[in-house]
Amino acid sequence: MKKTNPKAKDLNHATADPKGVLTGVHFMNGDQSACEGALAAGCRFVAGYPITPSTEIVERFASRIPTVGGVFIQMEDELASSIAIQGAAWAGLKTMTVSSGPGFTLMMEHIGLAAMLETPCVIIDVQRAGPSTGLPTLPGQADMMQVRWGSHGDYEVIALVPNSPQECFDLTIQAFNLSEEFRVPTFVMMDECVGHMAERVVIPPAEKIKVFNRRYTTLPIEEYLPYRTGKDLVPWFVKAGTGRRFHITGLTHDERGYPTMNAEAQGKLVHRLVEKIRTNAEQIVRFEEEDCEGAEVIVLSYGITSRVASRAVEMARKQGIKVGRFRPIVVWPFPEKRIRQLAGMAGGFVVPELNYGQISLEVERLVAGKVPVTLVPHGGGTVHQPEDILRAIREIVRL
Amino acid sequence: MKKQTKKETPLSIEPRPQNPIESLIRMERLPHMWCPGCGIGISMGAFARAVLESGIDQNLLSVVSGIGCTGRVAGYLRLDSFHTTHGRAIPFATGLKLANPKLKVVVYSGDGDLTSIGGNHLIHAARRNVDLTVILVNNLNYGMTGGQFGPTTPHEAFGTTAPYGNYEYPLNLPYLMDVCGANYVARWTVYHVRQLTRAMVEAMNKDGLSFIEVISPCPELYLRRNRLGDALQEMVYLKENSRIQNGAETRSVAIEQKRQEIIVGKFVDRERPGYIQAMDEHLGKAMGARYQRPSFWEK
Amino acid sequence: MPAKGPRGKVHTVADRCKGCGFCIEFCPLKALRASGTMNRGGFHFPEIVTPDKCSGCNMCGMVCPDFAIWSEKLISEKDESES
């Protein structure tokens, strides 16, 4: 039995602009599909810098966007790309940049800026094996904590993890919608395998694609403050050139957007930056689970690893083990509530990932020692052998 | 209001009308944080007058700053203004401009910000001839962090990180911008306020990248550490030791020594197509009817 | 051309002044001097010596880093040349 968590409040207010939607059935790889997702979501500005294995996204955007009506600019580096998109966002566009490991590392500075300015923008990281230059053409999943914590200071982000080219399309649209709604940098955490594997991708007609358009302030100039918020803690947007003469800064600021150099302002600001995601987390999280309640073992995996894990789950079931599958689709914020529940209903967790323990730490934190959590680590460069995951499953049930 | 002013400052000459440039300044944020005698405020005043004189639509004028003393300019101007990260004002401004070409976008930042940590962006913005005006206030050192040497610090000048003197040589910024392809390159000092204002008007009316280097005293750090006198002496020095040479060969205008003649003037004024025009024309030519000009570019 | 009465008028906001002295130094007609008193910040702000001297050229305003002083013309250039 497959189910997803109850559908979050319907976020979306509009349908896609048909100009950007390549309706039809396609055979394309995850990179290309993510690009189409961005176009369908209404992204009209991409700044990028070439890096394997994400380059196909910007290549496709460079080729497609002049036929749709938008701008692609290849910047001098990822630092520039990740802030050029923020300039364009403050002029009113939906914007995106794209990178992989080393380039993603360079973007950390502006992930912090986007969090601080509350710039809606999407960043795709097609993960490769690291650290450093690592294995440029081969997969990794070791940026999962970096995306959560990589820039200095306290902030929250939203990150989604597709495991197929179809999901690269769907989740990129979702990333734009979430980013626009919550005004946080939002990430699509692909990996080289998902980016480069080609599969059937169905792009629906524009009227079937829901998009969330930015909420601009309607308050008169005298009443509007760039960072005053209501209950949802998300300020409504203002764009340049509308006569409001607003100021924004990466310094700690007050509701006016003016630098305010004291602990009180800092506390207030950071509290809101964090709480606007934490209090809305249940509405943001998405996951897919199968036979988890009462399972002897739950295999929790994401991205390409979730597909390898499926094979291991099948093998284990053939051996008579009750195995559940859990796949976070939104990985940040993490589905904390559900994992805590499942910790009381299952015999243990196996977490295979292409790193030496990142999401497994989150699972351990939530399970809090109630049941065993086994990491199946992998250095990247290829995917797990299903047998390695199976072995971990069998160890938990002590077969 | 009048009463109050009189009370606080008994010798204030007259109840005042507004300083004409106040409409462009976030008065509620004054006094600004710059040291006494710092030239950044002079340059900002010149900019405000340039905006008023040029008749530019202030609602369509954006200012983008990086980090540092000059980086605070954005926060004091009553315009759409963006205080970004260290060195990255130019790429932010590039995105802003490309997303709405109706905006005039001015990058206003310091020498350390734009030429050291942001040097690569400066070079490529000039190479692309992006339609931006870059106002670079050069105070010859890092002020905000306390007077370290930087890529514009003259040879053998002292800084807190060059305690025995600077053994590096500084950049010649007009030359750099010239060879990279900027459409407009000028240098003035804050003493040359009239010419500086005129240059700012000219620069904001150019397509492509326009660049103005503004030489400005840093009295508390650079001048003091180098025993070059106070701010007033420096202003007099700038007056007496600057030579206006419009059209000068940019390779000849380096400021390499602590004390030397400073060549000022408009060095480059040419009409290469700006980035937006180049992109638009090229894609139109290369793609023909398939080319869709962005709707947000329409006038 | 000798001035008949003041041609310009200086305005100051003394408390904004940080005492750099640029306005006094660069006033072409040397119409300003440092006040004997101090403002709130402890700086000797400028004051006009002889109001009649001021031509309203606004050099003081242009070189002031603190927007604390400026001058305006009382007679437009045109009127002046006609008289």
Q: What is the DSSP letter of A131?
A: S
Task: With respect to residue A352, please indicate whether it lies within any of the assigned structural domains.
Answer: yes
CA A141 – CA A382 distance, rounded (Å): 11
CATH numbers and ranges of domains, chain C: 8-82 (3.30.70.20)
CA A166 – CA A175 distance, rounded (Å): 14
Q: Residue B217: closest CA among chain C residues belongs to which residue? A: C65
Asked if A45 lies within 8 A of B95 by C-beta distance, the reply is: yes
Task: With respect to residue A233, please indicate whether it lies within any of the assigned structural domains.
Answer: no
Expressed as residue numbers, the domain containing A300 is 287-397
Respond yes or no on whether the N-terminal peptide bond of residue A53 is cis (omega within 30° of 0). yes
Give me the residues paired with residue A4 across strands: A288
Number of domains present in the structure of chain B:
1
Task: With respect to residue A65, please indicate whether it lies within any of the assigned structural domains.
Answer: yes
- Residue B18 is predicted with a pLDDT of 85
Give the contacts of B195 (CB within 8 A, at least 6 positions apart): B188, B244, B264
Q: What would the mean pLDDT of B95-107 be, rounded to a whole number?
A: 98
Please provide residue A394's backbone torsions phi and psi, each rounded to the nearest 5 degrees: -65, -35
Contacts of B38 in chain C (CB under 8 A): 65
pLDDT per position in chain A (399 positions), as tens? 454 443 444 444 799 999 999 999 999 999 999 999 999 999 999 999 999 999 999 999 999 999 999 999 999 999 999 999 999 999 999 999 999 999 999 999 999 999 999 999 999 999 999 999 999 999 999 999 999 999 999 999 999 999 999 999 999 999 999 999 999 999 999 999 999 999 999 999 999 999 999 999 999 998 999 999 988 899 999 999 999 999 999 999 999 999 999 999 999 999 999 999 999 999 999 999 999 999 999 999 999 999 999 999 999 999 999 999 999 999 999 999 999 999 999 999 999 999 999 999 999 999 999 999 999 999 999 999 999 999 999 999 986
- Residue B6 is predicted with a pLDDT of 43
Q: What would the mean pLDDT of B246-258 be, rounded to a whole number?
A: 98
Task: With respect to residue A300, please indicate whether it lies within any of the assigned structural domains.
Answer: yes
The shortest CB-CB distance from C67 to any of B11, B25, B39 is to: B25
> Is residue B41 scored above 60 in pLDDT?
yes
Asked if B13 lies within 8 A of C63 by C-beta distance, the reply is: no
Does B have 3 or more CB contacts under 8 Å with C?
yes
Q: What would the mean pLDDT of B95-102 be, rounded to a whole number?
A: 98
Tokens of B37: 């005698």
Residue A355 CA neighbour count, 13 Å, CB half: 20
Site of tokens 């023909």: B288
Coil, helix or strand for B265? strand
- Residue A398 is predicted with a pLDDT of 86
- Residue B298 is predicted with a pLDDT of 87
Residue window 277-296, chain A: list those with CB within 8 Å of chain B.
none
Task: With respect to residue B253, please indicate whether it lies within any of the assigned structural domains.
Answer: yes
Number of domains present in the structure of chain A:
2
Task: With respect to residue A220, please indicate whether it lies within any of the assigned structural domains.
Answer: no
Task: With respect to residue B157, please indicate whether it lies within any of the assigned structural domains.
Answer: yes
Coil, helix or strand for A8? coil
Expressed as residue numbers, the domain containing B213 is 34-274
- Residue C4 is predicted with a pLDDT of 62
Q: What is the DSSP letter of B220?
A: I
The closest of A87, B87, B37, B90 to C68, measured between CA atoms, is B37
CA A77 – CA A102 distance, rounded (Å): 11
The shortest CB-CB distance from A77 to any of B62, B120, B296 is to: B120
Asked if A67 lies within 8 A of B290 by C-beta distance, the reply is: yes
Asked if C62 lies within 8 A of B49 by C-beta distance, the reply is: yes
CA B198 to chain centre: 14
Q: Where are the beta strands (DSSP E) in B173-216?
A: 184-189, 210-215
In a shared domain, residues A22 and A151: yes
Asked if C21 lies within 8 A of B232 by C-beta distance, the reply is: yes
Angle CA A102–A108–A110, to nearest 5: 125
- Helix axis angle, B89-99 to A78-90, nearest 10°: 40
In a shared domain, residues A200 and A305: no
β-strand C69-73 against C8-12: which pairing, if any? antiparallel
**Cα of B24 to nearest chain A Cα, Å:** 10
Its ipTM equals: 0.96
Q: Is residue A127 within 8 angstroms of chain B, CB to CB?
A: no
Last residue of a domain, one of A211, A230, A263: A211
Angle CA A67–A70–A76, to nearest 5: 115
The dihedral built from the CA positions of residue B98, B101, B103 and B107, taken in this order, carries a sign that is positive
Tokens of C56: 């309203």
The closest of A153, A137, A238 to A193, measured between CA atoms, is A137
Q: Is residue A44 within 8 angstroms of chain B, CB to CB?
A: yes
CA A324 – CA A342 distance, rounded (Å): 10
- Residue B15 is predicted with a pLDDT of 53
Q: What is the CATH number of the domain that holds B139?
A: 3.40.50.970
Task: With respect to residue B160, please indicate whether it lies within any of the assigned structural domains.
Answer: yes
Q: What is the CATH number of the domain that holds A373?
A: 3.40.50.920
- Residue C77 is predicted with a pLDDT of 56
Task: Answer whether B46's CB lies under 8 Å from C70's CB.
Answer: no
Q: What residue type is assigned to position C18 of the chain? A: K
Task: With respect to residue A178, please indicate whether it lies within any of the assigned structural domains.
Answer: yes
- Residue C50 is predicted with a pLDDT of 86
Residues B121-175 pLDDT 10s: 999 999 999 999 999 999 999 999 999 999 999 999 999 999 999 999 999 999 9
Asked if B120 lies within 8 A of A76 by C-beta distance, the reply is: yes
End-to-end CA distance of chain A: 25
In a shared domain, residues A65 and A201: yes
Asked if A76 lies within 8 A of B124 by C-beta distance, the reply is: yes
Q: What residue type is assigned to position B284 of the chain? A: G
- Residue A86 is predicted with a pLDDT of 98
Residue window 245-274, chain A: list those with CB within 8 Å of chain B.
245-251, 258-259
- Residue C79 is predicted with a pLDDT of 56
